[in-house]
Amino acid sequence: MREEQVTFTAGRLSIEGLFAGGDGTRAAVVTHPHSLMGGSMMNNVVDAMVEAFLRKGISTLRFNFRGVGRSGGSFDNGIGEQDDVKGALEFLGGKGFACIILSGYSFGAWVNSKVASASYNFTDVIMVSPPLDFLAFDFDAVKGKCGLIICGDRDQFCPIGRLTKEAEAIGAVLRIVRGADHFYFGMEEGIVDYISDYLES
């Protein structure tokens, strides 16, 4: 399935994205790592997440947060970025998708968790490497909403012991990519496999 360039609105801003249509009523929003640290929708982990969804026939929408690439505006410390995610959800809702998965990597997972805590239109949350040592996560706010968390056992920003406790507390499945750090270079297939397996269960 080929991705096509799209734009949608977040308030007064125009946000650029890539959309790929699957073969059903399910879709996934995929958000990228920190905008000020080189994060964009063209990221190796984002690529892996998109691949996993498309393998299962699930439509995908990845996009650049405000201030990245051709998206309007500027970095807003994760506040305005929540509006970007809401705009993505509205874009997919406008296309008639009834089941939308909110998925994100690193900073993107954190932004998604903020949106999910307010109970917007989504059916599941998937997090890859939520950076617990870098950003303050309120896991209680996504209890019962987050189904899957993936992390590498060498992640510099996500201590496995603490993450294990948080995952158990909110009822999420935790999968560990052995040998992977926060950036997953050369280890992306582990992400694809774990998401694919989860989507089948």
Q: Please determine, for residue 45, whether its predicted confidence score (pLDDT) is greater than 80.
A: yes
Each domain of the chain, given as residue ranges in start order, spans 4-200
Q: What are phi and psi of 61, to 5 degrees?
A: -135, 110
pTM across the whole model: 0.97
Place of tokens 């706010």: 141
Looking at the domain 4-200, which fold is it?
Answer: Rossmann fold (3.40.50)
Task: Give me the helices (H) in the chain, please.
Answer: 44-55, 80-94, 107-117, 160-170, 188-200
Which is more confident, 121 or 132? 132
pLDDT digits (tens, 9 = 90+) for 133-182: 999 999 999 999 999 999 999 999 999 999 999 999 999 999 999 999 99
Query: In whole angstroms, what separates CA 150 from the centre of its chain?
Result: 11
Average pLDDT over the chain, rounded to an integer: 96
Q: In which band, very low, low, confident or very high, does the pLDDT at 77 lie, cut at 50, 70 and 90?
A: very high
**Per-residue pLDDT at 201:** 85
